Structure 1
Amino acid sequence: MTVVNGQVAVLTSSEAIELAAALGDEFAKGAAERDRNRALPFAEVDALAASGLLAITVPALYGGADMPYSTVAEVFRLISKGDPNIGQIPHSHFVFLNQLRLQGAPAQQARIFPEVLAGRKVANAQSERGTKHVREITTTLTPDGDGRWRLNGTKYYCTGALFADWIPVLAHLGLDGPLHVAWVPHDADGLEILDDWNAVGQRTTASGTVRLNHVAVTEDLITDFAAEFTVPTTYGAVGQLLHAAIDAGIARAALGEASAFVTTKSRPYPDAGVERAVEDPLVVHAFGEMELSVRSAEALLAEAGRVVDNANADLDDQSAAAATLAVAAARAATTQAALDVSSRLFEVAGTRSALATAALDRHWRNARTHTLHDPAAWKIQHLGRWAVDGSLPPRHGQL
């Protein structure tokens, strides 16, 4: 699909899932080579945007599909099964479109949402280094006359910024004011995007540095962020749901490649007394355990998507907490499945699978890198607190 008359296709849920599966299969063909050479997927991200998949959450009021997050999560899983780098690149695109939906003024929404329908892409500039913790922010918006502000700071882990048309920047309004989001166009004066991402996995997400030097921002492109967490919300749950979908995609891809390798390239162990590696009962049992792990993670992901949708339809403290806890369970399960399967595949595939030419190590590297975003142990901690005494989870973007 392509952009027609300045607008991408408005998809149905079934069309979105079918298209995501097809694009995921296509992206998988070059995933190993892109990882090996750290070749950034500009053409693939453009194809993703042109397909209409990046516009599926645009509200119906602005002509969008207004798709439920259960569908969005499945789209992410299918794309990430093909290449989790491409799956992660639009993560902030959907998170900040959700932020715009929740906190943007009608005029702000009327400006940005039509651009997304025209194929424009959104990234992020949130995290910083050298602060006490991940939620401490030093970037500031300082007054520069009536309705004008200047933005200064340095951001890291800015996934997708090199591909984006808009870069929402998390900053304090004034030196000690509440957190807000400044929507900065990619070509703004004083904005510098560095291609300096150098990690063991997720190597082509372009999660590098963004520098902001006295960037001019007008008030009509600033949305409130702090207010997000003063009322019941699924903001954090949505972001974490999509992270879980990426890990579920990694787990399924790792299991699929392990199966293909054992079927076509592995030799049987002599003590098994079989002709083919896939007939070894120990290998079969290991695959059964991995399949169980992946299916369990996928089921928790699907359930979490449904609970998020239910909460959005009838939002209060209890429904928001239910969404957060369901997503926490999915996030913990997909983290474990992605790490376990991407490591254990070498056990069942044998020595040949460790050759660099097989490129099977990328699954573990991708899983290990992506699952570090938010500690799974804290997901389990909040689940435990709820199970013990019914404590509701806190409201923030990492849960």
Structure 2
Amino acid sequence: MSEPACTVPVLDAAAAVAAASSLAGEFAAGAAERDARRSLPYAEIDRLSASGLLAVTVPAAHGGADLDAATVAEVFRHLAAGDPNIAQIPHSHFVYVNQLRLRGDAGQQARLFAEVLRGKRFGNAQTEFGTRHVRDHRTALTPDGAGRWRLNGTKFYCTGALFADWIPVLAHLGVEGPMHVAWVRRDTEGVEVVDDWDGIGQRTTASGTVHLRNVAVADEWITPYASTFEAPQTYGAFAQVLHAAIDAGIARAALEEAAAFVRTKSRPYPDAGVERAADDPLTVHAFGEMELALRGAEALLREAASAVDAANADLSEASAAAASLAVAAARAATATTAVDVASRVFAVAGTRSALAGLNLDRHWRNARIHTLHDPAAWKVQHLGHWALHGAPPPRHGQL
């Protein structure tokens, strides 16, 4: 008996944001304990799948809601404020739904979009250790002489793979051929996902290792990748704006938890001459500065997501460059703000806030690790080249 065509709700924009906000509240309740115990959020990810949120970018032609980048970024911001680990786990899922939209053929789209509408999840196997840089890969698909390909390689930082039904793998088509995506079922023979992630932050993303040993892949499960960047595109900008949303969510959660702590637990400094720490003018000013910085970052995030949507509506060299630059600004701002706010909250909350049992440091650890995903300094470089020389940004998946 075949599976039904769609088993998750198809959410409009308002319903998607409301669902993300509601789930964020649920996820926040256990976030500190999951981090402390490194308890992986299997049940929470199943809740996220069942909500329909992971299907919101499936094209309307395939039965999905086809929601815009502005809505998806807001969904991610809410989820990250609840638990940024849970927000980061499906990041690659959305990126590869987008890759399938851009480069999948009609049959591939029909099959894999149907999987998403049935609640299935995509992971990722992209980055490799020991190569020259993040866009250098050794993993390859080689012909086996029987009409199929064999996939061999080892991938690291594979966020989402442990929770995935499908693992999209970046690989050369042939040893020296162009980069393609091999769509591999998680349970395929030769696929091993190892939970060996031991970062100081984002501890429950399970961003571990994927070993690929002589994995059989048919032509129908291979899509082009390198050609994505041969023409104007928003592939990288869309991926990056979701990262910016995660950083913004981390900063907002850190600020709100610090404010609650100061209102209820912090003691005032004697020289302030006030009864409550929350009435200390220096503390109030510090919170005002953090709120100001965060509002600016959130505004840049909204502007960036809107720029991605505008480029998608009328794609050209100019609109794609505008989207990438807007996202670069948002990414640089949210990265800086997340780290700064998550660190500064200890200065305003006082010594008691540093107790290990409170685990307030998880916000800084999460911000510090997530903002290392790709350097914010290079976002600023590309903005500088544009401001000085009118030079458009390069085309790749990190911008």
Could you say which TM-score interval applies, normalised by the shorter chain?
over 0.9
Contact 2:251 2:338 in 1 (8 A): yes
Describe the superposition over 1:15-72 as per-residue Cα deviations: whole angstroms up to 9, x where unpaired. Answer: 0001100000110000000000000000000000000000000000100000001100
Offset of 1:7 from its aligned partner? Answer: 1.4
Q: What is the alpha-carbon distance in structure 1 between the residues aligned to residue 147 and residue 100 of structure 2?
A: 19
Greater Cα offset, 146-155 or 224-233: 146-155
Q: Counterpart in 1 of 2:224? A: 224
Instruction: Please show how residues 1-399 of structure 1 align to structure 2 within 5 Å.
Output: 6-145=6-145, 147-399=147-399
TM-score under structure 2 length normalisation: 0.98
Question: Matched residues in 2 for 1:41 and 1:309: separation?
Answer: 31
SS in 2 for 1:170: strand
Unaligned residue ranges in structure 2 (runs of 5+): none
For residues 243 and 5 of structure 2, the distance between their equivalents in structure 1, rounded to whole angstroms, comes to: 33
Give the distance between the partners of 2:143 and 2:243, measured in 1 at CA. 35
Q: 1:75 & 1:170 partners in 2: Cα distance?
A: 27
Tell me, in whole angstroms, the C-alpha distance in 1 between the residues paired with 2:220 and 2:322: 34
The alignment partner of 1:182 has SS state of strand
* Identity fraction in percent: 69
The one-letter code sitting in structure 2 at the alignment partner of 1:191 is: V
Distance across 1 between alignment mates of 2:97 and 2:223: 11
TM-superposition CA deviations, 1:133-188 (whole Å, max 9, x none): 11100000001135410000000000011100000000000010000000000000
- 1:357 deviation in Å? 1.1
d(CA) in 2 for partners of 1:197 and 1:28? 22
Count of aligned residue pairs for this structure pair:
397
Q: Over residues 289-335 of structure 1, what are the superposed CA-to-partner deviations in whole Å (9 max), with x where a residue is unaligned?
A: 00001111110001101000000000010000000000000000000
Q: CA RMSD in A?
A: 1.0
- Per the normalisation by structure 1, the TM-score is 0.98
* Residues 223-248 of structure 1, C-alpha deviations (whole Å, 9 max, x = no match): 00000000000000000000000000
C-alpha distance in structure 2 between counterparts of 1:198 and 1:340, whole Å:
23
Q: Distance in 2 between matches of 1:20 and 1:147?
A: 44
Alpha-carbon separation, structure 2, partners of 1:242 and 1:320: 17
Cα distance between partner residues in 1 of 2:340 and 2:104? 40
Give distance in 2, aligned partners of 1:5 and 1:321.
37
1:276 to 1:4, Cα distance in 2 relative to 1, 3 A:
farther
Shift of residue 4, structure 1, vs aligned partner: 8.6
What is the rounded CA distance, in whole Å, between the counterparts of 1:274 and 1:283 in structure 2?
11
Q: Secondary structure at the match of 1:158?
A: coil
The 2-side partners of 1:74 and 1:248 are apart by: 10
Q: SS of 2:150's equivalent?
A: strand
Q: Secondary structure at the match of 2:39?
A: coil
Letter matched to residue 396 of structure 2: H
Deviations 1:333-361 (A, max 9, x none): 00011000000000000000000011100
Q: Distance in 1 between matches of 2:276 and 2:195?
A: 46
Return the letter of the residue paired with 1:310. Answer: A
Displacement of 1:6 in angstroms is 4.8
| Cα shift at 1:97 | 0.6
Distance verdict in 2 for CA 1:209–1:20, change over 3 Å: same
| Rounded Cα–Cα distance in structure 1 between residues aligned with 2:242 and 2:306 | 13
Look up the equivalent residue of 2:270 and give its one-letter code.
P
Structure-2 separation of matches of 1:47 and 1:368: 27
Q: Is the 8 A contact 2:92 2:159 kept in 1?
A: yes
1:31 maps to a residue whose letter is A
Aligned residue type for 2:134: V
Give how far 1:285 is off.
Answer: 0.2
Unmatched 5+ stretches in structure 1: none
Aligned with 2:223: secondary structure? strand
Q: Stretches of 4+ moved more than 3 A in 1?
A: 3-6
* Contact 2:307–2:326 (8 Å) recurs in 1: yes
Any idea what the Cα deviations from partners look like across 1:233-278, whole Å, max 9, x if unmatched?
Answer: 0000000000000000000000000000000000000011110000
Give SS of 2:175's match. Answer: coil
CA shift, 1:83, in A, is 0.1
